[in-house]
Amino acid sequence: MKNFLTILTIIISINIQAQKKQVYQIFTANGKKTSYKKLLKAARKADIVFFGEEHDNPVAHWFELELTKDLYKTAGKNLVLGAEMMETDNQTQVNQYLNDSIKYKEFKKEARLWPNFKTDYKPLLDFAKKHHLRFIATNIPRRYASKVYHGGFKAIDTLPLKDKQWIAPLPIKYDPELSQYKKMLDMMKGHGGENLPKAQAVKDATMAYNILKNFKKGDLFLHYNGSFHSNYKQGIIWYIKQQNPDLKIVTIDVETQKNLKKLNKKHRNKADFIIVVNENFPRSY
């Protein structure tokens, strides 16, 4: 009995220590600790939810899938999924994969998939396939964003109409004073010049356009994107607000920190909910 109690005490002690190895903590915009339950409750009341991820963060991708599953439980067929990781001119291939017209092997050949698509985004697409949900490829084809990067907005003005269908209606409205665009210039220390944030803006504008084009009253649109596209409710959201300022939008951001007890001041107000992941957690690439 004495040996049993000793072993039991050791097991309990190990479990307590293991619980201290926290993987993530959720905070509100002002840095108050909160729960996934409250995040989910807010997301269910929204028109559009933006999940701003770190592309190489496996915890973020796990959260995306879990949130998708939980929103489906209440929204059902009114849940619409969309992603930065899919480009507008690949919507046909996305639809073909969803309705079983092509297999994944063919889909992979025909669509321009990100290197981590199979592990991080295919589960989301497969969930949509299983439950017959719409999955919208929202992002501008990268070749047109590249044109803006090299030649500004004027580089896409003269594109043929058949190409312009994959881009938000021209001319692209642009505010260079938005803090995220200014921050981008600072981060790159002038590399790319003024066209760098313009290339970002044409992506944001196109994603906003495709979200609104595929959203109708009663829908819940869940959009997956890099956090820079939705933090501070700028980027995609700035463009959405130009067209429909009354939509209820909830934003999520993912960050990493060493200490999960308190949200770093630099991360405050980036989103309605900030998921902070232990910085020691392995990256996917």
Each residue of 207-242: pLDDT tens digit? Answer: 999 999 999 999 999 999 999 999 999 999 999 999
pLDDT on residue 6: 43
Note the CATH number of domain 26-41+48-217+230-262. Answer: 3.40.50
Angle at 206 between CA 204 and CA 210, to 5 degrees: 120
Q: If you average pLDDT over residues 101-111, what whole number do you get?
A: 96
Sheet holding 79-87, edge to edge: 33-34, 24-28, 273-278, 249-257, 48-53, 220-226, 79-87, 135-139
- What percent of the chain has a predicted confidence (pLDDT) above 90? 88
pLDDT at 14 exceeding the cut of 80: no
- Sequence-ordered alpha helix ranges (H) in 56-194: 58-75, 91-98, 104-110, 117-120, 122-130, 142-151, 154-157, 161-164, 179-188
Q: What is the DSSP letter of 178?
A: S
What mean pLDDT, rounded, does the chain reach? 92
pLDDT on residue 186: 85
Cβ of 9: how many Cβ atoms within 10 Å? 10
pLDDT on residue 175: 96
pLDDT on residue 116: 95
pTM: 0.91
Cβ of 210: how many Cβ atoms within 10 Å? 22
pLDDT at 38 exceeding the cut of 90: yes
Backbone angles phi, psi at 263, to 5 degrees: -75, 130
pLDDT at 263 exceeding the cut of 60: yes
pLDDT in tens, 151-187: 999 999 999 999 999 999 999 999 999 999 999 988 8
